[in-house]
Amino acid sequence: MEFQRQYNVTTTLVFPVVKAGSQDLAVTGDWTPATGDTKISKDGGSVANTSNNPAAIGGTGSVLWSLVLTATEMQAEEITIQIVDSATKAVEDQVLTCTTRLGGQLAATKGIIVGEVDTATFTASTTVLEGFRIAPEITEETSADVHIGRLILFTMSGKQELSTITDYVLANSKEKITYDLIIHTPADGDTYVIL
């Protein structure tokens, strides 16, 4: 199974497990996970025991299991979890993979940013704009150059354009973003997403 989650953020994976020698899914009475049954490999590195063991999810007829991965375990672009019952096989071996959305970039900048172009004190062009954040937080980033190399997606009056950020600075209490040339000039109130 494959999952996508955010880098450096504790997450819970939910998945089914097949009973050994069967086509049926394991329920809580079929398997008692032990330390060593689940191991993690981060970015292809050596495997190590996960911090937590899988747990059965309750409820009538539930055949679901969950595994909590810590923030430290989520510090990789590709996380691979192997499930191998170390005792007499109660469940089939399986592998789960989890990728983090855009790797460490999201963690460093608190995720995907939604902004709005503001032309009150600066005229946007096909290579630079000033704007302010509207989600997920409204506090502008004060660190210069923090967004260099990230993608910026414009949604301008039904037109979408994608570019790469080449410079960033806080100016006029707004985020001044320089990017590779796009075709259309952003207008006041147009939105953009930094990925």
pLDDT digits (tens, 9 = 90+) for 128-161: 999 998 877 778 888 899 889 989 998 877 678 8
Residue 79: closest CA among 49, 37, 35, 40: 40
Is 68 within 8 Å of 84 (Cβ atoms)? Answer: no
62 and 134, same structural domain? no
28 and 90, same structural domain? yes
Quote the Cα angle for 165-166-168, to 5°. 80
pTM exceeding 0.75: no
166 and 89, same structural domain? no
Tell the residue number behind the tokens 């490999």, with chain if given: 41
d(CA 40, CA 36): 10
177 and 144, same structural domain? yes
Q: Would you place residue 101 in the very low, low, confident or very high pLDDT band (cuts 50, 70, 90)?
A: low
Q: What's the pLDDT tens digit per position in 160-169?
A: 889 999 999 9
Q: Which amino acid is at 70?
A: T
